[in-house]
Amino acid sequence: MAADRRVGIAVDFSPSSKNALKWAVDNVIRKGDHLILVAVRPEGHYDEGDQIQLWEATGSPLIPLSEFCDPIIMKRYGVKPDPETLDIVTTAARQTQIEVLMKIYWGDPREKLCEAIDTIPLSCIIVGNRGLGTLKRAIMGSVSNYVVNNASCPVTVVKHHV
């Protein structure tokens, strides 16, 4: 991967996505990288309805760390980052000298994560895995499995420890 790497992390603020984020910070991220948190929200109605409708097709603009640490700004996007995720990324930004950004999409996480790879564009993407059993995965579908099979860049799946 080149010097100007854009490392994507799929985040939904669940334990498995925080585990993937921690793993990425410890094992992949290096000085000068862009760490891009990719969040996918369900389609719906949000406070700033006109802006959301405008962004539904292409996703939000890239949101700098200083803005996605602000709960008032993030409420407009319908996203509430948890304190642990914010702590992980602010510490990584300070210690590793990386730029942290967030991009929010609306729709099906499987399709939108693959879309993010091409539109941002990402050098690689890291996704968490909830550890669904075979039956649940067959019924509900696995986001990580879909991304692995359809992504146009390297994908790392970080298994969630139970």
Residue 26: inside a domain: yes
Q: How confident is the model at residue 137 (pLDDT cuts 50, 70, 90)?
A: very low
The domain that contains 93 carries what CATH number?
A: 3.40.50.620
User: Global pTM?
Assistant: 0.87
Q: How confident is the model at residue 139 (pLDDT cuts 50, 70, 90)?
A: very low
Residue 1: inside a domain: no
Q: Which two tokens stand for residue 74?
A: 């993030």
34-84: pLDDT as tens digits:
999 999 988 765 555 556 666 777 889 999 999 999 999 888 888 888 999
Count how many domains the chain has: 1
8 Å CB contact between 154 and 124? yes
pLDDT at 49: 52
**Where in the sequence is the domain holding 85, given as residue range(s)?**
6-159
Residue 105: inside a domain: yes
Q: How far apart are CA 6 and CA 90, in angstroms?
A: 17
In Å, how far from its chain's centre is CA 128?
A: 10
